[in-house]
Amino acid sequence: MGSCGDVVTAEAIAAVSLLREYLSTLETRFVNVVDLFMLILQGEHSQGLSNREFKAIFTDDKLVIFNFYSYPGTIHPLTYRRKDQHNLHVQEYIKKGDTDIPLELAVAAIDHVSGLGNKGAAAREANR
């Protein structure tokens, strides 16, 4: 789980807490990105990370749910030249009113992890 921004970071941390409480066998990691330009490939931006550095933080074989308030498509253009960036699922929100974002992030993680079946949808329905 990753995020960029103060409110979205608090929401992502709450989502990780939910996952650790209710799915303790699911290994989780949280990454707070302070500078979005670090997502860009080194050489294309002065603050970009090398592929080795990016892989050390985000891995290249695990799902990454990235929480970010913005318009759809803001994050992927920053990472499009990275190998295995298809593992990055951006949970973008355009403010529409009340939502339970930590729960939605946890459900998104559950829905994207193979082997967990339909537990995400069940969790979402149980909290309506």
Give the H/E segment covering residue 17. helix 6-22
The domain containing residue 107 runs over which residues? 2-126
Domain CATH code at residue 45: 3.40.50.920
Task: Quote the pLDDT of residue 117.
Answer: 60
Task: Quote the pLDDT of residue 13.
Answer: 94
Q: What pTM was computed for the model? A: 0.76
Task: Quote the pLDDT of residue 16.
Answer: 94
Indicate the length of the chain as a whole number. Answer: 128
Task: Quote the pLDDT of residue 114.
Answer: 67
Residues 30-40 as b or e (16 or more Cβ within 10 Å = b)? eeebeebebbb
Task: Quote the pLDDT of residue 32.
Answer: 95
Task: Quote the pLDDT of residue 98.
Answer: 54
CA 50, 81, 1, 32 torsion-angle sign: positive
Between CA 17 and CA 62, with CA 21 as vertex, the angle to 5 degrees is 65
From edge to edge, which strands make up the β-sheet containing 88-93? 31-32, 2-3, 64-69, 88-93
Long-range contacts of 23-28 (CB under 8 A, 24+ apart): 23/110, 23/116, 23/119, 26/109, 26/113, 26/116, 28/1, 28/109
pLDDT tens-place values along the chain, 128 residues long: 999 988 889 989 999 999 999 888 889 999 999 999 999 999 999 999 998 999 999 888 888 888 888 766 788 888 877 876 778 888 776 665 555 678 888 888 888 776 766 555 555 555 55
Q: How many domains does the structure of the chain reveal? A: 1
Task: Quote the pLDDT of residue 5.
Answer: 87
Write down the residue that tokens 């939502």 correspond to: 99
Rounded to whole angstroms, the Cα distance separating 13 from 30 reads 7
| Tokens found for residue 59 | 């891995």
Task: Quote the pLDDT of residue 118.
Answer: 55
